[in-house]
Homo-oligomer: A and B are copies of this chain.
Amino acid sequence: MPLIRAWLDAANQPECDFPLNNLPLGVFSTDGARRCGVAIGDQILDATGLEQAGMLHLGDMPVLDQPGWNKLMELGPSAWADLRARLTELLREAAPEQDQIAPFLHPMTGAQMHMPFTVAEFTDFYAGRHHATNVGTMFRGADNALPPNWLHIPIGYNGRASSVVVSGTSVRRPWGQIKGPDDAMPRFAPSARFDLELELGAIVGQPSDGPVSVADADNMIFGYVLLNDWSARDIQAWEYQPLGPFQAKATATSISPWIIMRAALDPFRTTTPAREVPLLPHLQEPGPMLYDIALEVDLTPPDGQSLTIARTNYREMYYSSAQQLAHHTTSGCPMRVGDLLGSGTISGPTKDSRGSLLELSWGGKELFQAGNITRSFLEDGDTITLRGSAQGDGYRIGFGACEGTVLPALKDPYAS
């Protein structure tokens, strides 16, 4: 698919994240009131205002009167397609509505972004082969790196929806119970091994009430965001047996502010890598359900220069979000509009494509060095920025940035 030219020049530039082909959905404010908006070029189109003005008709009742896109999700895939068709009509080069639309555009630079939807529940998977192999090798040795179930099911755990925050929110280094392998007793202390995880988040846009096939699961996905699953490795090491990660992953999970709708990513579909062992039929992919999305992790130290510390691609995942969602429903688990599924850390096969400091510093044993940066894990004041984009012919579908800065731990967590 070629670039669809818009009457906003900035949207037609090849390095722009938000051409007319993209049309990502967010929530923004310029003066306090939060409104639903659509990114186009360097502008945000006030979709709530357009609906109120009668220029965007999505349903019999207002759909964008709340600061979040959940009500549109509830209307289902045909409403999702209608929105894109109508916005394309209004923003297309030589669109006759140009003068009517212009008052609803706001420069991105002056806007604040908020959570683009209400997260119903959050599930995080562990579905990147390179990441699971790296972590498994560190903890269990190369021969037992992958758990026995790993090649048969996309294993995951339920996370905390309440901890999901939008890009730009600072993240405070957590306290937790920690016990080193040589310590006689655990102690309660700030995490000394606070880490990032580069992931993609899939947003469930339709509910389910029983097992769902992989094909149907793909159709339930509304869109994708970048996701940083902040992780306290020292808390995790002590707590995770036998019930899995809990407080180590509950401080915060950051997402990028723009929901990239599934339709915008359709031209970039790609299949999952070859299976080492065949999947059972209910988890097999009926078509390409991963995407070719280039990803990077930037680290900016306090008062320092930003450095890219990892580059990888979403096509490295062993399981797609559709497969994860299908597995999630096998037991009859009801899925809801606004459920968020983290892909799992997306590492590539090479050293410079690892999506966490745990891997980049090999469990803290090899200091990670780049430019002026030397790190085992994150230091106070470090800012992590995730970026992603799918490259089309003369345009790209960009995700924007997912950013967060590490604040120092509280001095006394129980001082009131």
Contacts and interface: CB of A to CB of B under 8 A. Distances in A.
A149 B238 contact: yes
12 contacts: A121-B162, A149-B239, A153-B186, A156-B246, A157-B243, A157-B244, A177-B330, A188-B330, A210-B410, A240-B242, A241-B242, A243-B244
Contacts of A152: 177, 179, 185-186
A335 interface: yes
A315 interface: no
A413 B147 CA distance: 27
Given A160-B333, A334-B163, A147 B241 contact: yes
Interface in A18-59: none
A327 interface: yes
A247 B328 contact: yes
Interface of A: 120-121, 126, 147-149, 152-153, 155-163, 172, 174-177, 179, 185-188, 210-211, 213, 232, 235, 238-248, 250-252, 277, 280-282, 327-328, 330-336, 339, 410, 413-414
A154 to B, nearest CB: 10
A155 B330 contact: no
A162 B247 contact: no
B158 A327 contact: no
A187 B280 contact: yes
Contacts of A120: 162
Given A153-B239, A239-B149, A280-B187, A331 B174 contact: yes
Contacts of A242: 147, 240-241, 244
Contacts of A251: 331-333
Contacts of A155: 239, 243, 246
A151 to B, nearest CB: 10
Contacts of A188: 280-282, 330
B414 A162 contact: no
Contacts of A250: 328, 331-333
Given A152-B186, A242-B147, A244-B242, A333 B158 contact: no
A357 to B, nearest CB: 18
Nearest to A237: B149
A403 to B, nearest CB: 19
Given A147-B241, A188-B282, 7 more contacts: A157-B157, A163-B333, A174-B332, A175-B332, A177-B330, A210-B410, A241-B242
B162 A333 contact: yes
Contacts of A239: 149, 153, 155
A176 B330 contact: yes
Contacts of A414: 211, 213, 282
Contacts of A158: 157-160, 246
Nearest to A120: B162
Nearest to A212: B414
Residue among A232, A247, A328 with most chain B CB within 10 A: A247
A126 B211 CA distance: 28
Contacts of A334: 160, 162-163
Contacts of A332: 172, 174-175, 250-252
B245 A177 contact: no
A232 B186 CA distance: 33
A405 B211 CA distance: 20
Contacts of A243: 126, 155-157, 240, 244-245
Residue among A177, A185, A277 with most chain B CB within 10 A: A177
B160 A413 contact: no
